[in-house]
């Protein structure tokens, strides 16, 4: 018996609804030589002949979407399940549950982009660049990011075990992390010796990040700041408008970033003119392999404009911009819609940004608790800023 036309129509409607919600249409697909028709034939045969009668239609649809996106060979274009999408939106407001970690794929390995400071993941010792080999004993070799996120998230107070390989120290580690509520204070600042201000930004995701940055700079100036150290190490990025606004606090004119669309058309996103720090104030930026996306936009414009000296190690190398769309079932889809270039037009995707002063963390301190005295990158920045102040 042929599979009912009614169910076929329902499936087609579901797929079209998802497509329209994402801002696209299925018409080009339908116009092709039977490609979508073949998909329906396979779906028909699975429903009629598969040995297990109870096949979840929604799982088949999600599997089809995941499979379609995986063929793009782009880890950043992905379907976002309703629970994850909700949590993503909560993160923009600054409060969410989890272990406080950003993950992605690098060289086809599930990798820690960055732990968020003062979260369970950060306190457990997870570091940018860690390869997550297993989650609660489940091998991640063929695991997509979305599935990994589902395993890592869970009820507050419960524990998860991660098997980590750390390339820098050539160690395999079992790390247990207890899930908790994440209250992410994204901007931290203080005065350190020689009237040097220290300002750390942990993420570009929160909507109020630019305003908090501006307030922090003004407070440091009131305290007599003569130079600034801006720390964006292990900052995985976030919202593109935030990157432009924060870059504009330090660069008064010209493009903060250039974005290129699918047709090769380039658009310059220029400085807003709302500068917060005088260009004559010496400035250093701390970067590392966990500095990604929006962090690289800001680091790139500061380097290209010779506004600051970059200290640390090469950044992550994510030069792509995603547009996130709401879908009708409460889920979302992130689609890579642009690539970005630095102020001078440099493509850093999969390459990263090299520091002006290379300072690597010694192996003997990699697994030790954080201490400012052991932070060789920070100490180098203090040394260089002190020299700049003395030379003025």
**Which residues are tagged catalytic?**
293, 304, 318
Report CA-CA distances (Å) from 150 to 61, 98, 337. Answer: 18, 10, 25
Distance (Å, whole) CA 73 – CA 160: 29
Residue of 215, 234, 238 lying closest to 93 (CA atoms):
238
Q: Is the dihedral of CA 219, 220, 226, 227 positive or negative?
A: negative
Long-range contacts of 320-324, Cβ-Cβ distance < 8 Å, separation of 24 or more = 320/74, 320/76, 320/349, 321/240, 321/259, 322/76, 322/77, 324/80, 324/88
Distance (Å, whole) CA 136 – CA 298: 36
Cβ atoms of residues 256 and 244 within 8 Å: yes
């Amino acid at each position: 018996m042929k599979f009912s036309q009614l169910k076929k129509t329902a499936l087609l409607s579901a797929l079209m609804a998802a497509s329209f919600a994402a801002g696209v249409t299925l018409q080009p697909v339908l116009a092709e030589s039977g490609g979508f028709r073949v998909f329906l034939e396979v779906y028909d045969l699975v429903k009629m002949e598969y040995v297990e009668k109870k096949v979840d239609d929604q799982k088949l649809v999600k599997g089809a979407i995941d499979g379609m996106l995986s063929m793009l060979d782009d880890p950043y274009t992905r379907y976002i399940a309703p629970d994850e999408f909700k949590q993503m939106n909560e993160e923009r407001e600054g409060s969410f549950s989890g272990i406080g970690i950003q993950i992605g794929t690098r060289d086809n390995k599930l990798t820690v982009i960055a732990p968020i400071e003062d979260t369970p993941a950060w306190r457990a010792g997870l570091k940018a660049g860690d390869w997550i080999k297993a989650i609660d004993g489940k091998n991640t070799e063929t695991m997509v990011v979305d599935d990994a996120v589902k395993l890592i998230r869970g009820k507050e107070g419960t524990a998860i075990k991660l098997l980590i390989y750390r390339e820098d120290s050539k160690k395999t580690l079992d790390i247990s992390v207890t899930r908790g509520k994440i209250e992410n204070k994204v901007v931290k600042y203080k005065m350190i010796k020689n009237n040097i201000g220290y300002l750390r930004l942990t993420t570009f995701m929160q909507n109020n990040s630019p305003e908090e940055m501006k307030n922090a700079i003004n407070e440091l100036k009131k305290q007599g700041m003569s130079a600034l150290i801006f720390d964006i190490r292990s900052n995985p990025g976030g919202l593109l408008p935030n990157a432009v606004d924060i870059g504009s606090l330090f660069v008064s004119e010209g493009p903060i970033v250039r974005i290129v669309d699918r047709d090769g058309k380039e658009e310059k996103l220029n400085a807003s003119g709302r500068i917060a720090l005088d260009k004559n104030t010496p400035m250093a930026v701390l970067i590392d392999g966990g500095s990604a996306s929006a962090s690289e936009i800001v680091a790139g414009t500061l380097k290209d404009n010779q506004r600051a000296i970059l200290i640390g190690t090469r950044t992550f190398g994510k030069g792509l911009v995603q547009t996130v769309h709401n879908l009708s079932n409460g889920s979302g889809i992130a689609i890579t819609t642009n690539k970005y270039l630095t102020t001078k037009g440099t493509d850093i995707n999969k390459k990263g940004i090299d520091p002006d002063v290379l300072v690597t963390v010694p192996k003997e301190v990699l697994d030790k608790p954080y201490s400012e005295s052991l932070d060789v990158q920070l100490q180098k920045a203090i040394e260089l800023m002190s020299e700049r102040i003395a030379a003025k």
